[in-house]
Chain A
Amino acid sequence: MKRTRMAEKGQRSLTFTAYAVTILFTVFSLVPVLWMVSSAFKSDKDIDAYPPKWIPQIPQSIRVTLDYSGLGPMERADYEKDAMEATWFPWMKNIRENIGEVRITGIRDGKMIFQAFMASSSFRAGQPSIVPSTLFTDQLMDRKLPMIREKKLSKFTWYGDGGGDVSDRKGVAESELSSRFADFYGSSEIVQGKVATIEEKQAWIRLFDSFISVNKIAMNAAGPLGFTKYFINSAIVTLSSVAIQLLLGGIGRLYARSSDHEQKVAVLLDYVFFWRRL
């Protein structure tokens, strides 16, 4: 026989109202939290986008191949400077775009001579000091290159004559961002290498670069511990406050636990030397 439960009059309406109001409030109260979490992964362009975007776009990995064939003799330092100009300058021009990383491959006479890499976390951390504006000159990178090396913002790997063979395909990916990079390289005389290819790929891992860049910026301000230092400061303040309140409150409670003079002295000694028993 099926068990039936008699519902009290008004119980169903109360239960329905309880669930409806609770769900409504919890959903609406989570909107700012979810918006904050979602925005933490977005690019500047997506944050200001209209209509508002909830789901962040996957950052792009821009892979540029620069051909130095036919150019005069260049030293390793010249290639490094050119690679940094090819990385930082077009990125700064497209700062609001969803760029996760830029990889530059330098080739000469069909052989790879260098590779350079920079992630968006390093760009965000270094941009205010390396490329504060979109005014680019050849002399700018002369001054900034030592800073880039010191802070290890970009990675430059030199192969020289030992580099592997590279296929001679040419082409620019069919996207607005790749076209803008190609336009920059074509119109600018700062970057000496000629664009062979520009590819775009999705870089999922770069979704989390905003957190890494915050830590890098914090390291510049707060020292090698970075963001951890702020957590440590908060922990010290919180634990000290709790400890002092426990101490002061506990002393008062100690007195309340004891009833006569001798016990109070014993309890006090007990507290001082064996505070765990509080």
Chain B
Amino acid sequence: MTRITNIRWMPVLFLLPSVLCYLLFKYYPLLSMVRVSFFRYSIVNPPGKFIGLANYTEFLSSSTFWQAVSNTFVFFALYLGLTFWIPIVQALLLSDIRKANAFFRFMYQLPTIMPAVAGVLVWKWMYNPDYGLLNYWLQFFGLGPYMWLNDLNITKLAIVLPAVFAGNGISLLLYYSAIKSIPTEILEAAKVDGASPWRRMWTMLLPNIRFIIVIQFIAFMSGVLLAYDNIYVMTQGGPAGSTTVVSMLVVNTAFQQSRFGISGAMSLFMFFVIALLTVLQNKISAEKD
């Protein structure tokens, strides 16, 4: 009884609504998904027959699943190599621009106001091999024409390319804000010590925004590993399954084949993969600190 009266109930009361919402809309679906993954789910008579780990053994022994995992990580590598560092560089260079700084910040944000699906559709148009803008421009450099969305060798690159030039607006703002919050005294001290502007950027600005980079990387990682909408609009997973990622396989298995049990199992697999990568990434960052 004493222990109950010793609990400070006011914090519990104030935090209860948000915790309840979080439990209801985040954890309940997650736990439901875990439960469903052990059943041969029946829409008519849910949850169906308990089959233990059969869903897991089925997808883990499926070549289609491992092809999707491979595609997912190839996309991750492409996005990481081509897009993750771009807003960091943009923010670092933008912080050095004095004239028209606000104008350039506005111009960087302009593509983000376009609906994501509309942007992907415009790129799909531009990729058209017959009347697309990209092949028309590339011919002036003696390149192309390319079958951007039909060539197995370049389809993945074609899907990643739009993210190189657009969709960096919010990340750029975060990095720019972090750079601007760095105390000017340390930059002035580095300047007095003889550090050049390039050196200050590399040794002062970049390390001081590392915390934001780590947070952005975690969000980036889960966003890319669970990417679906742009791939679906561009190629629907083709050609020949070369752009089918795990999230697409989960959706197709659930809603085209009505096999919610196995799709839940695949989702849980990706959940653990992303959780593991996040833990590893946090450990590496902590060690560096």
Q: Which residues of A are at the interface with B, using a C-beta cutoff of 8 A? A: 8-11, 13-15, 17-19, 21-22, 25-26, 28-33, 35-36, 39, 47-52, 244, 247-249, 251-252, 254-255, 261, 264, 268
Sample (12) of A-B pairs whose CB atoms are under 8 Å apart? A8-B197, A22-B94, A26-B108, A29-B166, A32-B126, A35-B122, A36-B119, A39-B122, A47-B131, A50-B131, A249-B18, A264-B14
B17, B86, B125, B199: the one contacting A35 at CB < 8 Å is: B125
* Cross-chain contact A22 with B93 (CB below 8 angstroms): yes
Asked if B114 is at the interface of the complex by the 8 Å CB criterion, the answer is yes
A8-B196, A10-B198, A251-B17 known; A32 and B94 CB under 8 Å?
A: no
Give the residue among A10, A32, A47, A254 with the most B Cβ atoms within 10 A.
A32
List of 5 A-B pairs having minimum Cβ-Cβ separation, nearest first: A255-B14, A10-B196, A248-B18, A18-B93, A26-B107
Contact partners of B131 in chain A: CB under 8 A: 47-50, 52
* Cross-chain contact A15 with B125 (CB below 8 angstroms): no
CA of A10 to CA of B114, assembled, Å: 37
Asked if B15 is at the interface of the complex by the 8 Å CB criterion, the answer is yes
Contact partners of B89 in chain A: CB under 8 A: 21
CA of A249 to CA of B18, assembled, Å: 8
Asked if B96 is at the interface of the complex by the 8 Å CB criterion, the answer is yes
* Cross-chain contact A25 with B136 (CB below 8 angstroms): no
A22-B94, A51-B136 known; A255 and B10 CB under 8 Å?
A: yes
Instruction: Mark B108-131 against chain A: 1 for CB-CB distance below 8 A, else 0.
Output: 101100100011001101100011
* Cross-chain contact B96 with A15 (CB below 8 angstroms): yes
CA of A13 to CA of B96, assembled, Å: 11
- CB proximity of B154 to chain A, nearest CB, Å: 18
Instruction: Mark B185-208 against chain A: 1 for CB-CB distance below 8 A, else 0.
Output: 000000100001111010000000
- CB proximity of A265 to chain B, nearest CB, Å: 8
Contact partners of A18 in chain B: CB under 8 A: 93-94, 96-97
CA of A252 to CA of B86, assembled, Å: 36
CA of A14 to CA of B202, assembled, Å: 12
Asked if B21 is at the interface of the complex by the 8 Å CB criterion, the answer is yes
Q: Which residues of B are at the interface with A, using a C-beta cutoff of 8 A? A: 10-11, 14-15, 17-18, 21, 86, 89-90, 93-94, 96-97, 104, 107-108, 110-111, 114, 118-119, 122-123, 125-126, 130-133, 136, 162, 165-166, 168, 191, 196-199, 201
CA of A268 to CA of B13, assembled, Å: 11
* Cross-chain contact A261 with B201 (CB below 8 angstroms): no
A14, A35, A51, A244: the one contacting B197 at CB < 8 Å is: A14
- CB proximity of B118 to chain A, nearest CB, Å: 7
- CB proximity of B23 to chain A, nearest CB, Å: 13
Contact partners of A52 in chain B: CB under 8 A: 131-133, 136
- CB proximity of B82 to chain A, nearest CB, Å: 13
A10-B197, A32-B166, A255-B10 known; A22 and B114 CB under 8 Å?
A: no
CA of A14 to CA of B166, assembled, Å: 24
CA of A26 to CA of B133, assembled, Å: 18
CA of A49 to CA of B132, assembled, Å: 9
Give the residue among B11, B104, B130, B197 with the most A Cβ atoms within 10 A.
B197
Identify the closest chain A residue to B22 (Cβ): A248
* Cross-chain contact A248 with B196 (CB below 8 angstroms): no
Identify the closest chain A residue to B18 (Cβ): A248
B17, B97, B123: the one contacting A22 at CB < 8 Å is: B97
A14-B201, A21-B89, A52-B136 known; A35 and B196 CB under 8 Å?
A: no
Contact partners of A9 in chain B: CB under 8 A: 196
A14, A19, A248: the one contacting B21 at CB < 8 Å is: A248
Contact partners of B166 in chain A: CB under 8 A: 29, 32
Identify the closest chain B residue to A268 (Cβ): B14
* Cross-chain contact B114 with A254 (CB below 8 angstroms): no
* Cross-chain contact B125 with A19 (CB below 8 angstroms): no
B15, B110, B122, B123: the one contacting A252 at CB < 8 Å is: B15
- CB proximity of B189 to chain A, nearest CB, Å: 15
* Cross-chain contact B125 with A26 (CB below 8 angstroms): no
Contact partners of A268 in chain B: CB under 8 A: 14
CA of A19 to CA of B99, assembled, Å: 10
A14-B197, A26-B104, A29-B166 known; A251 and B96 CB under 8 Å?
A: no
